[in-house]
Amino acid sequence: MGMLTEIDRAAFAGYCQAYARWKGAEEFITQHGDMVRTPNGYLQQVPQVSIAQTNLKIMLKFCEQFGLTPSARSRMIGEETSGDKDVDEMELILRG
């Protein structure tokens, strides 16, 4: 759609970093479970659960910015293609 530019590189890198942290935490949870027993015998959630949840939220925010969710995609305005028919002038004004 021609919407991402070089200036978006840092934001995309942020998404990639959040994805890597989320994936690592989820792999840990899959291998070791999400709870451990403390020395006192209580069950406690492993830190990776919080890490996974936090980074999933970060990823979702980036997804919304990059148009990677259904609602975000519906709001995106891409470049007009040469095959587009007549566009209403008022629509162009409203698009900015």
pLDDT in tens, 40-85: 999 999 999 999 999 999 999 999 988 888 888 888 766 555 555 6
What is the 3-state secondary structure of the chain?
Answer: CCCCCHHHHHHHHHHHHHHHHHHHHHHHHHHHCCEEECCCCCEEECHHHHHHHHHHHHHHHHHHHCCCCHHHHHHCCCCCCCCCCCCCHHHHHHHC
Q: Which two tokens stand for residue 58?
A: 């970060």
Question: What was the pLDDT predicted at 73?
Answer: 81
Question: What was the pLDDT predicted at 87?
Answer: 72
More confidently predicted of 78 and 9: 9
How many angstroms separate the CA atoms of 90 and 88, rounded? 5
Tell me the whole-structure pTM to 2 decimals.
Answer: 0.70
